[in-house]
Amino acid sequence: MSGTNFTLIMELVLLGFSDLPNLQGFLFGVFLVIYMIILIGNGLIIVITKVDPGLQTPMYFFLGNFSFVEICYTSVTLPRMLMNLLTQNRHISLVACAVQLCFFLILVVTECLLLAVMAYDRYVAICKPLYYPVIMSHKVCVHLVIGSWITGIPVVIGQTYHIFSLPFCGSNKLNHVFCDMPPVVKLTCGNTFVNEFSVYADAVLFALIPFLLILASYVKIIMTILKMSSTIGRYKLFSTCSSHLIVVILFFGSGLVVYFRPKSNHIEGLNKVFSLFYTIVTPMFNPMIYTLRNKDVIGALRKLILN
């Protein structure tokens, strides 16, 4: 940077939906309702998987933890978005942006790994049913959940520190709805190659690889189900796995599009839409997907409401 004049930036401006000035109040109402649905829907799943005796199995143990992660990582982004829409003050300090990015990435990594763990649980239950109680013991389940939470923490903290150790110069306008890694890296100057490469490396390590492991699990699951002679049995097993598979497609599909699309200014608007999809829309629909297609969960909800 020797000989280059630039203004050191100490805060960013989250542009968000500033290009829609007449819809700020409407968007605030929509996102507030969505946030309440996420909290209530996922909160109910956490409660019933803890208190209902019929749901004390590894599958529902993972589902309860998954719903907790959904609440956490949505709470990292949505309240700030609501405040920006309400006050029209879109400024965010670099420290606040770094904290938001760090927690957001940790929780996204946790969600990716938990989805892979849930796929492995279904694989063992369907492909190795006789060994299921031994392989998926409570101790193993707890270790898998803890591993999902802590695996990405050192990498994400180091990544965040490295990004924010670079100077932010030129424009301080972040064309996004929250502090996500690709748009933040775009505003840094100096030698950003390492950060840009690490964006893709992290996406491969913590998103693409778990996604491929999930696909491999479901290939084996589907092959096992198709070999069954009972039509009713095949339908029950497909029904058990379909909810998780729908969530996987929605979450990973939108997330991988954001991180693996080629860099281009004219698609930044699309990236914002896809980011909203995997950070807000899927957490809102996940409780519905799991409850509407699961008789056990519906029964537990009825007992909880009636009691």
| Residue 3 pLDDT | 45
> At the fourth CATH level, which superfamily is domain 11-306?
Rhodopsin 7-helix transmembrane proteins (1.20.1070.10)
Whether residue 92 contacts residue 11, with contact meaning beta carbons closer than 8 Å, is answered with yes
pLDDT for 1 equals: 44
pTM, two decimals, is 0.88
Position 141 scores a pLDDT of 95
The dihedral of CA 212, 217, 219, 220: what is its sign? positive
φ/ψ of residue 224, rounded to 5: -65, -45
Residue 5 pLDDT = 47
Q: In what order do the strands lie in the sheet with 91-93?
A: 91-93, 11-14, 173-174
Cβ count within 10 A of residue 93: 11
> For position 293, what pLDDT does the model report?
67
Please give the Cα distance from 160 to 164 (Å, whole number).
6
**How would you class 251 by CB atoms within 10 Å of its CB: exposed for 0-12, middle for 13-18, buried for 19 or more?**
buried
pLDDT one digit per residue (tens) for the chain, 307 residues: 444 445 567 788 888 888 788 888 899 999 999 999 999 999 999 999 998 888 899 999 999 999 999 999 899 999 999 998 888 888 899 999 999 999 999 999 999 999 999 999 999 999 999 999 999 999 999 999 999 999 989 989 988 988 888 887 767 888 888 998 888 888 887 666 776 777 778 778 888 899 999 999 999 998 888 888 777 777 777 777 888 888 888 888 777 766 666 555 545 666 777 778 778 888 888 888 877 667 778 888 888 777 7
For residue 173, what pLDDT is reported?
86
